[in-house]
Amino acid sequence: MNRLPTAARRPGLSLLSVRLAALVFMAPLTLAAARPVVISGVPTSPVIETKLLAGSKEGLPIWFLPQLGLQTRNKPQDVWLSYGPRSLRYTPQGGWAASGFALTAPLPAPERYGSGGSLHVGLDVLRALGVPLAGNAEQLDVRVVQAAREVPLPVPQFGFNLAPTLVTPKVVQAAKVPLSPKPSVPKPSTSKPDVAKPSGAKISINPTALKAVSAPTSPPPVSPPKAAPEKVKPVVKLPSPVKASPAVGHSGSASPLATSSAITSSTAVGPTSASPAAVKAAVNKAVTEVLELRAEVAQKPSLRSASIEPTPIAPPAGLLAPVPTSITPTPVAPPPVAPTMSAPTPLPAPTPPPLLSGPKIVGTRSSLSTVRNIQLQRLVIDLSGPATYSAKNERGGVTLFLPQVSADSNVQTLDSGDTLTLAPDSNGVTVRLDAGGGQSQVSTLNDPDRIVIDTATSLSADVPPPINPDALPIGVSLKAFGGLSLLSFDPAQFTPRVVAAPVGVALNVSELVRRVGGVAGVNGGYFDPPSSLPVDFVAAGGKLLAASLERRGTVGFSEGGTTLFGFPRPRYMLTGAFGSLMVNTVTARPAPKLLTAFVGDGKTAVGGAGLLTLTLNAAASGVSKAELGGAVPAAGRISLSFDPARFPQLPTAEGSSIQATLNYQSQEWQGVRDGLSAGPMLLQGGEIVLNPEREAFNVLTGVWRPTRQVAFAIYKGQPTLAFLEFGTPETFARALHNVGVTDALRLDSGSSATVFVSGGYLGTGGYLNTVWSRPVPNAIVLVPTNNTASLKASKNLK
């Protein structure tokens, strides 16, 4: 639920003041503090907040933007953002460049938040792209539209406008003012250029379409008019203005041809009163107008694709009369003619590769999508028939060779920025895809025949990669119910085991999985972050690694794969000639008043002054060493430290018989060899059993706060790793119960919550959690049932 601005909650303010304050807070301007982000009114999970960047400008991490409907490339040297038809690309050299719209103001450069933090962009950048940002002083609300209906596909490439073809219009010459022959100018074609427009590609421009873009052609020279025969007495009248219909050009203005007087021939009837000087001046003026008109038309061609030939308008009868022989117009010197230069000898055309008898590459097409921080590109090569190929994955790309296949030579840049090259030769076609840091896989499809190259590229290491549902190991299934995800395992193929890091060491869950040859894992129980030591029960391989608080929910795994949920009280039980004795606790710290046990790692010292330490043999059935004052037990060996005066019944000499066994003080748990405690217990036997008082949890803080939740569960009879994006233990328990989970124990959650599975888009594994989690000292790992080596390793992890 959205909260009112602070001003609206203060007493004594008028309703007008409250409304004004709300309007100010909701204005899409830079605010003074970071705000949590909600998407269409729903809070983000985990909580994402804006960050204050340089100049107190708010920003969001680029890795988060795909959740708002953007496509992104998260590289500091080449940032690309696309939202609907608008795209922005940033480089340090050129700054922001826009496609699909024009920038009206400078935008701030991307910047990292904190030392080594995520790359962020300001909210001004998102507003420029048209991302709908709203909210108030306490939160930023983003309305995410349905991309398939409301947002057009992005235009990631920067296109070019096709230049108009320039055409020189014809000039209608006057019959009685002879001009030298006009060189023929071929009419340009009125058909549209053949421009290929593949989806998402740049527009290719045919160079021939721009042939007309050149320097204006000089008008042809004009020969002076010949003198008329002596018997003819021509008379010339000055041309009267003729009102002509304007020839509208590309811009809608009248054509120069239409606004100039047309000069045509006419035989005068009767005498005229014009003097010889006036006739000579008129003739000279007419010739000059014709030359100027032709030069103006040559320099200012029409922008229409078709040539223009205005219809001549006949002048009134008697406009021109024969020119007397005594009056000879002054010849006008023709403009200088540029010297003729011989054209260079054209080079011979390259010999095309010989035609091959096999199929041909008839086209290529690509698509681009983003899943969390992984950019997925599919390149399809269409073939006219079946073909064979060989593929070689190389650094930065993949190269294919298709023997006996023909193709047109081509180099193109895909929407992702990758470069595709087709290089045919006499043996076939070499296809090269330069994919930068992406990893590519090649496959084929039939009917019609196609070769498919799928490329995955990590856009950012700031967030964990997602799980690829199509690349899960056999026997593993993933189901999602809104914010709840269940990763289930076939019990016939996989067995859950507890895997612990060395004492005082925390490791990533993925590392704990790989160390024992597992396929997936989830973080385990609670621990002390400074020391990385567990704070509750942990057992692996039948050995008690951490003492139990004896009140929290526990999950255990038997040697045969049976899973138990309950509240056991595991302790070491010592038996021998002295009878039986229960160990107080498991710790390496000296405790003079207690009988303590510890599973050695070959590095950690136990015991202390006045204490005797017994190190048992590998079978934990006898004393191999007895040392006073402290000792360093070998890795995997159980040691007992105590004050002999307080426990006189225990043996003190090497070779003495003594047996140490793990006792759960519950009959059904006696076969459990691996287990850990966490809590609270969420479900048992299909019922919600949440009881914070029984397990001594404070519901006002800590474990009960809303956060990321993880659990080990049983779903439809299969061991399952459950992950809830955001909620409390109560919401987690209800969500699991609603989908049919029968048993579930909540594990350490929040910043520790991790669910990892091998495979993934890049072969590095995938995660259900959308943010990186901290390393942990133990985890529950699913290992193949026939992987005996990994089972032994899980008992003694080094």
Structural domains for the chain: 6-150 (no CATH), 160-179+198-332 (no CATH), 361-458 (2.60.40), 469-536+675-795 (no CATH), 571-663 (no CATH)
Residue 63 carries which side chain, given as an amino acid letter?
Answer: W
- pLDDT at position 500 is 96
402, 432, 451, 454, 476 from 386: Cα distances, Å: 11, 20, 10, 19, 35
Residue 442 makes CB contacts below 8 A (sequence gap 6+) with 389, 391, 398, 400, 451, 452, 453
Distance of alpha carbon 732 from alpha carbon 745, whole angstroms = 11
> Which helix or strand (DSSP H or E) is residue 794 part of?
helix 788-795
Distance of alpha carbon 182 from alpha carbon 119, whole angstroms = 66
- Chain Cα centroid distance, residue 437: 13
Residue 544 makes CB contacts below 8 A (sequence gap 6+) with 537, 538, 570, 571, 572, 586, 597, 599, 662
Strand partners, 586: 597
Strand partners, 236: 320
CB 540 within 8 A of CB 499: yes
Query: Among 464, 456, 465, 492, which residue's Cα sits nearest to residue 476?
Result: 492
502, 604, 710 from 588: Cα distances, Å: 13, 7, 30
How many CB atoms are located within 10 Å of the residue 741 CB?
22
Token pair 């200012």 is found at 300
Angle, CA of 650, 656 and 658, to the nearest 5°: 60
User: What are the φ and ψ backbone dihedral angles of 478, each rounded to 5 degrees?
Assistant: -125, 130
790: left (phi over 0), alpha (psi -120 to 50) or beta: alpha
- pLDDT at position 92 is 92
> What is the number of alpha carbons within 13 Å of residue 277 lying toward its C-beta?
0
Q: Dump pLDDT digits (tens) for 104-121.
A: 999 999 999 887 678 899
Distance of alpha carbon 361 from alpha carbon 451, whole angstroms = 10
Extract the residue ranges of the chain whose pLDDT is less than 70: 1-32, 45, 116, 145-276, 278-280, 282-283, 286-356, 787-798
- Chain Cα centroid distance, residue 665: 53
- pLDDT at position 259 is 37
Torsion angle, CA of 435/440/445/451, rounded to 10 degrees?
A: 40
CB 708 within 8 A of CB 725: yes
Residue 424 makes CB contacts below 8 A (sequence gap 6+) with 353, 406, 407, 408, 409, 430
Query: Among 487, 484, 483, which residue's Cα sits nearest to residue 468?
Result: 487
Burial grade of 765 (CB within 10 A; 0-12, 13-18, 19 or more): buried
CB 637 within 8 A of CB 618: yes
Distance of alpha carbon 10 from alpha carbon 528, whole angstroms = 42
Pairing of strands 139-142, 37-39: parallel
203, 204, 378, 412, 452 from 198: Cα distances, Å: 8, 10, 15, 11, 18
Pairing of strands 51-52, 58-61: antiparallel
Distance of alpha carbon 292 from alpha carbon 543, whole angstroms = 107
- pLDDT at position 275 is 64
DSSP secondary structure of 750-791? GGG--EEES--SSSS-EESSSS----BSEEEEEEETT-HHHH
Angle, CA of 572, 577 and 582, to the nearest 5°: 20
Distance of alpha carbon 109 from alpha carbon 173, whole angstroms = 62
How many CB atoms are located within 10 Å of the residue 446 CB?
7
Q: Is the pTM of this model over 0.85?
A: no
Number of H helices, E strands in the chain: 9, 48
Distance of alpha carbon 227 from alpha carbon 351, whole angstroms = 60
- pLDDT at position 47 is 81
Torsion angle, CA of 35/39/40/43, rounded to 10 degrees?
A: -70
Two structure tokens written together for 432? 């090269």
CB 494 within 8 A of CB 472: no
Two structure tokens written together for 762? 């890049």
Two structure tokens written together for 586? 């498991």
SS (H, E, C) 449-498: CEEEEEEEEECCCCCCCECCHHHCCCCEEEEEECCEEEEEECCCCEEEEE
End-to-end C-alpha distance for the chain, whole angstroms: 49
Torsion angle, CA of 483/489/491/497, rounded to 10 degrees?
A: -90
Distance of alpha carbon 798 from alpha carbon 604, whole angstroms = 13
CB 743 within 8 A of CB 697: no
Three-state DSSP state, 285: helix
CB 117 within 8 A of CB 34: no
- pLDDT at position 659 is 95
Distance of alpha carbon 455 from alpha carbon 432, whole angstroms = 13
Residue 447 makes CB contacts below 8 A (sequence gap 6+) with none
- pLDDT at position 8 is 39
Burial grade of 343 (CB within 10 A; 0-12, 13-18, 19 or more): exposed
Pairing of strands 419-424, 410-413: antiparallel
CB 613 within 8 A of CB 626: yes
> Which helix or strand (DSSP H or E) is residue 207 part of?
none
How many CB atoms are located within 10 Å of the residue 216 CB?
13
Distance of alpha carbon 332 from alpha carbon 158, whole angstroms = 52
Two structure tokens written together for 521? 């894992």
